Amino acid sequence: MMGRTVEAVPDIPAGNTAALVGVDQYLLKTGTISTSEVAHNIKQLKFSVSPVVRVAVQPKNASDLPKLVEGLKRLAKSDPMVLVETDEESGENIIAGAGELHLEICLKDLQEDFMKGAPIVISEPVVSFRETVTAESDHEVMSKSPNKHNRLTMKGYSIPVEMQEDIEEGRKIDPHSKDFKERSKYIMEHYAETFP
């Protein structure tokens, strides 16, 4: 919901939708605002899709970098489905969306609304492909190192349902985290005995 103008109204009848202005500095993506002291928080939405189409963005003029950084922060707050991150290795600013159309809308909002028309350079979209194992493989696969001194034997297993939930919820195992050591440690502590 991206309105072009702001209009103050004295009240909003039940069943209508309105946007609040000025709360973006206090709320990240979602929140519950109420005057009742006994109100319960509304649960955050869970989406059936995840951001899979990614692009790298950078300002055309280096002097617009602060605008880009601020624009990315505002974009991340305004859209619950968009993922904004900085690649630790390359330093690129990455925007990921649920599809090409979603990403196109996000980029338009970033450039026109959040950066006030400052030009940006956008990389070609990249789609992350992932595969999964649905059943235990019936044979092992072996690979040797180039010097033939090391052998690595592998077999595919499906992951336990509990581990899948940990990954999908992103609380215990964050699939977007770059901290491989922390993720490996958690998996070994909680799921090592489920794999032979």
For residue 32, what pLDDT is reported? Answer: 80
What kind of fold does domain 53-127 have according to CATH? Alpha-Beta Plaits (3.30.70)
CA distance linking residue 109 with residue 117, whole number of Å: 10
CB 53 within 8 A of CB 103: yes
What's the rounded Cα separation, in Å, for the pair 113 and 52?
A: 24
CA distance 108 to 98: 15
pTM over 0.85: no
Give the confidence band of 171 by pLDDT, cuts at 50, 70, 90: low
Model pLDDT, residue 175: 67
Transcribe 130-194 into DSSP letters: -----S--SS-EEEE-TTSS-EEEE---PPPHHHHHHHHH-SSS-TT---HHHHHHHHHHHHGGG
Percent of the chain with pLDDT over 90: 30
What per-residue confidence (pLDDT) applies to 28?
67
Q: Which of 138, 134, 137 is closest to 158 using CA atoms?
A: 134
Task: Tell me which of 66 and 48 has the higher pLDDT.
Answer: 66
Q: Where are the domains of the chain?
A: 53-127, 141-194
Q: How many other CB atoms sit within 10 Å of the CB of residue 77?
A: 18
